[in-house]
Structure 1
Amino acid sequence: MDSRHRAVLLTVSAISVAWLAGQWAYHVYQDREREAAAARPQVSGERVWDAGTLGYDHVEGDVRHPMTPPVGGAHDKTWMTCDGTVYTETIRDENAVHSLEHGAVWITYNGTATATDLKRLAGKVARTPYTLMSPVTRQSGTIMLSAWGHQLSVETASDPRVEQFITAYVQGPQTPEPGAPCTGGLTAPR
């Protein structure tokens, strides 16, 4: 091979390596930006957990999560159907957490929520794919909205942050499995 062909080959190789390095750097940058966006509070008053420390394991049996309701962590292999589904009975945390992994927002309430608030929330959930609603009597807040790594507590369904939270986190940047289904899961508590 003469020196001219060698020079062309080296130039093409250098350009290819530079292009691949640029692509890699771009994707690393995008991943970091996505992680940073997911870690930043989007809604006033929300709590945020580091998604990397929550864990994603599928397990059998009950899990003791460090927050109620949980916002991530080990969970059942089967999700709760979360296609605008309103559950009137308590559901397993482990199945609801799997729904959060799919990008759902889980709206929960305790015994102090009013009938008017519950009706308003149920209507909102029924019209919103990737949401589910259920009672969690042991939670501290009257109404709580949870997404993977994010949680907001409000006193009433008319609080404008309810809509802000749903808009920010239904299939939002925090979603570990974007595009995963919210249909075809469990439809009743186990």
Structure 2
Amino acid sequence: MGSANSKTKAASRRARIEEQRRAERARERRNRIITIAVSAAILVGVAGGGWYLVDTANEKEQAKAAPVSGEKTWSKLTQNHVDKDVTYPMTPPAGGDHDPVWQNCNGDVYTSELRDENAVHSMEHGAVWVTYNDKAADADVKALAAKVAKTPYTLMSPYKTQSSPISLTAWGHQLNVTKESDPRVAEFLEKYVQGAQTPEPGAACTGGKSS
């Protein structure tokens, strides 16, 4: 009788142990599956993030390469230094032969008209020349002056004979707008101040003509 009870208890223990082992093996399988799933999710996330960063970088490069809406462009502009007045094919000029001395363009705001040939030299150094005529609103002129004053490689001056109230000109590029609040103003400055169009990147915007 006692022997039978002992056998029954031993069998019960073995069954419990085996059940515990099966449960432990099941937990291990679940943990492996969870680990694999989490690792895969991380890899997908990293890959997705990488593609996102690549796509974002590509979009930025494409934005830099794309022209500003409405701008005019000229290519194959000459770059000779000359000691005479130059007749330019566009107003204000956007490049071409120019004076050996550049106009200071370290955020300089001029209240009198400048000599074209000196301003063109500034644009050769990567400056954006902001000009306006009598049709520009006083508030726009003040806002532009404040913007130019804090932007190196820019200069600003009146230009009575231009057709648009406000013009922004870089080497080979020009944008005409009617108001300073036009979002293309900031876009043009961002794109062309020391932009890829600059014939002499890094050249000075100080130490030139100051009036």
TM-score range relative to shorter protein: 0.7 to 0.9
Match of 2:155 in 1: 132
1:151 match: secondary structure = strand
Give the whole-Å Cα distance in 1 for the aligned partners of 2:203 and 2:66.
24
2:119 match: secondary structure = helix
Runs of 4+ deviating beyond 3 Å: none
Q: Which structure has the greater CA radius of gyration?
A: 2
| Residues 146 and 152, structure 1, Cα contact 8 Å, conserved in 2 | yes
Match of 2:94 in 1: 71
| Percent pairwise identity | 61
- The answer to which structure has the higher helix fraction is 2
Is 2:183 aligned against 1:152?
no
| Greater RCO, CA 8 A, separation 6+ | 1
1:137 match: secondary structure = coil
1:146 match: secondary structure = strand
The one of 133, 142, 146 equivalent to 1:123 is 146
Match of 1:177 in 2: 200
Aligned length, in residue pairs: 148
1:153 match: secondary structure = strand
Match of 2:72 in 1: 47
Letter in 2 for 1:67: M
C-alpha displacement of 1:61: 1.5
C-alpha displacement of 1:42: 2.0
Is 2:99 aligned against 1:99?
no
Q: Which runs of 5+ in 1 are unaligned?
A: 1-36
1:118 match: secondary structure = helix
